[in-house]
């Protein structure tokens, strides 16, 4: 296969994927709204909508509820201070100060080689096509 054929195929597929992804997102939003509006809620707060479609093989649609705990350091500090537990529940961890390291280089206390060793370059590539439109 010639280079131009491959480029044209890639460009056509890329465009199709973009269009399909947009359509998938729109359909998902519509179906999610349907499930939330007309579905049944289980004991865990998830929404279920029975479909039973033999053509697509879809048995039901679900909008599953997920709950995660996220640490709130401000609230934790407030409560621990209030209960007199802040010192007990606090650990001081030494952390290297990047700006102090760079300041040491500026003062010629570190060499460029030292900085390069501490801040190694990481290379990556992103492939894409640039289109006219």
Delimit the domains of the chain by residue range.
3-63
pLDDT at position 73 is 97
Integer distance in angstroms from the first to the last C-alpha of the chain?
Answer: 26
CA distance 122 to 38: 50
Contact 66, 45 (CB under 8 A): no
Q: What is the pLDDT of residues 15-39, one digit of tens each?
A: 999 999 999 999 999 999 999 999 9
pLDDT at position 68 is 96
pLDDT at position 80 is 98
Q: Which residues contact 118 (CB under 8 A, 6 or more apart)?
A: 101
């Amino acid at each position: 296969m010639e280079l131009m054929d491959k480029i044209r195929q890639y460009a056509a597929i890329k465009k199709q994927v973009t269009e399909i992804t947009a359509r998938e997102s729109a359909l998902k939003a519509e179906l999610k709204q349907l499930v939330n509006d007309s579905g049944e809620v289980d004991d865990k707060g998830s929404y279920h909508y029975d479909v039973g479609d033999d053509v697509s093989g879809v048995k039901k649609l679900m909008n599953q509820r997920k709950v995660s705990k996220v640490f709130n350091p401000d609230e934790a500090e407030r409560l621990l201070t209030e209960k007199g537990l802040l010192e007990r529940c606090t650990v001081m961890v030494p952390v290297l100060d990047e700006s102090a390291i760079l300041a040491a280089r500026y003062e010629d206390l570190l060499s460029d080689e030292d900085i390069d060793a501490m801040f190694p370059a990481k290379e990556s590539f992103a492939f894409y096509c640039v289109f006219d439109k």
